[in-house]
Structure 1
Amino acid sequence: MTGTTALWLTVAALGAYHGLNPAMGWPLAVANGLTERRAGAVFATLLPLGGGHLGAMSVALLPFAWLAGYLSWRHAIQGTAGAAVVLFGVYKLVQPRHPRALARIRPTQLAWWSFLAATAHGAGLMLVPVMLGLCAQQSAQGPVGAAHWGVMDLLGRSSMVTALWVAALHTLAMMLAGLAVAWAVYRYLGLRFLRRAWFNLDRVWAGSLVAAGAAGMATAF
């Protein structure tokens, strides 16, 4: 398995991990299905949740992807990004409570809720080290012999496209994982299962942020 393939698989795995986390919204899909008493309502809810998540990933990734086009800064950018992810993970370990503002958003604004929830949990930041690794591999295979600024512009645009693909693949994996668990709870397990087997991934989430940031810092130099 090549390094590039491993990084793309990591993007998909993180998406599935985010989808399984109740904080990313699959319980809302279950609640919508139970409220309307039809299975289609479960699927319909996940679309705005996925759209909001995609927006949050893009907002977090695109600035770093744009900066990664400047090769002379790449190591500093990757190291800084890794440190930011570590610090945010430590903050979530110390302060794991969810922002109260998320509880005040109306049910008709699910995409906005999903965007804010993913941003507040640092879901996009977790992807930054992986995305920068993909951009670095692209830069190593970039064109040779062209004018310096032409190469910078080409690699910058290539990094932006890579960031969008990372956000899209990650969100697709998140939606599929969220749909699977929401459908299982709605169709087979029911609310009684949630009361008996509710799981809290906040600590695991914060720890994974620290691990992802540390990996980004280790590979930056």
Structure 2
Amino acid sequence: MSIEALGFYLGLGLFHGLNPAMGWLFAVALALQHNSFSWIPRAVGALLVGHFLAVLFTCGIFVLLGKALSPFWVKGLSGIALFGFGFYWLFRARHPNWVGMNVGIMDLVYWSFLMASAHGAGLMVFAGSSFCGKPFFLWSMQGGSFKLFLYPSVVHSLGYFLAIFLIATVVFRADLLQFFYKKWINFDILWSISLFLAAMGIALG
């Protein structure tokens, strides 16, 4: 994996993790409920597992599609899916729910899997391969394709983990939860714009 690709996938994970709706808010809430910092690494670990599995699952689907369909159809399906997720989050973007966060670790794994899938995280990793020199639909035509889409998923999830762990730690230690409640930034709109850009990149690539 090139330095450019490493930076892209890592940066994408960091950007995704900034969104409070993607998990760090849950980690802070659980730590506050139990009055213990130890809940942050526990919650973040569960969120990481769910996020990674969702990205890996989506990438795996498109690699399998690449074995059955022509590159034209794989590009078309991924582009349409990216546009669809982009429009969904553009019109659904709203303030995250700050209450009702009494959940368990397995609930977080399941929730993180659903949220990462619903946000099109795996699709963004898929699209990113086109910007890093080797489109995913070509990877499926090569031997060892599992490793080829495993590595980007790992790097992306690492960036996601670093973002939510660091933010959750700072917010909990500095007691900044109320500040973020008042100064909330609509990350869903920013993410939808990223999805649109990725879709256009595939369409023009």
Under a length normalisation based on structure 2, what TM-score does the superposition of the two structures give? 0.84
> Of 39, 42, 46, which residue of structure 2 is paired with 1:41?
39
Identity of aligned residues (%): 31
Matched residues in 2 for 1:77 and 1:19: separation? 27
2:171 aligns with: 185
CA RMSD of aligned residues (A): 3.0
- Residues 130, 216 of structure 1: 8 Å contact kept: no
Gaps of 5+ in 2: none
| Residue aligning to 2:71 | 74
Q: Deviations over 1:94-124 (max 9, x none)?
A: 33369x9xx9896111100111111122222
**Amino acid corresponding to residue 38 of structure 1 in structure 2:** S
Query: Which letter does structure 2 place at the counterpart of 1:213?
Result: A
SS of 2:28's equivalent?
helix
What displacement does 1:204 show? 0.9
Unmatched 5+ stretches in structure 1: 143-150
1:60-82: per-residue Cα shift (whole Å, max 9, x none)? Answer: 11111233357x82243124312
Residues in 2 aligned to 1:188 and 1:93: alpha-carbon distance in whole angstroms: 31
Taking the TM superposition and a 5 Å limit, the aligned residue runs for 1:1-221 are 4-68=2-66, 73-96=70-93, 107-108=103-104, 109-131=107-129, 136=134, 152=141, 155=142, 157-219=143-205
Distance 1:127 1:48 in 2: 20
The answer to which structure has the higher helix fraction is 1
Contact 2:30/2:101 (CA < 8 Å) preserved in 1? no
Question: How far apart are the structure 2 equivalents of 1:139 and 1:50?
Answer: 26
Change in CA separation of 1:201 and 1:62 when aligned onto 2, cut-off 3 Å:
same
Q: Is the 8 A contact 2:30 2:40 kept in 1?
A: yes
Cα gap change, 1:59 to 1:46, in 2 (>3 Å): same
CA distance in 1, matches of 2:183, 2:77: 39
Q: Equivalents in 1 of 2:9, 2:203: separation in Å? A: 18
Bigger radius of gyration: 1
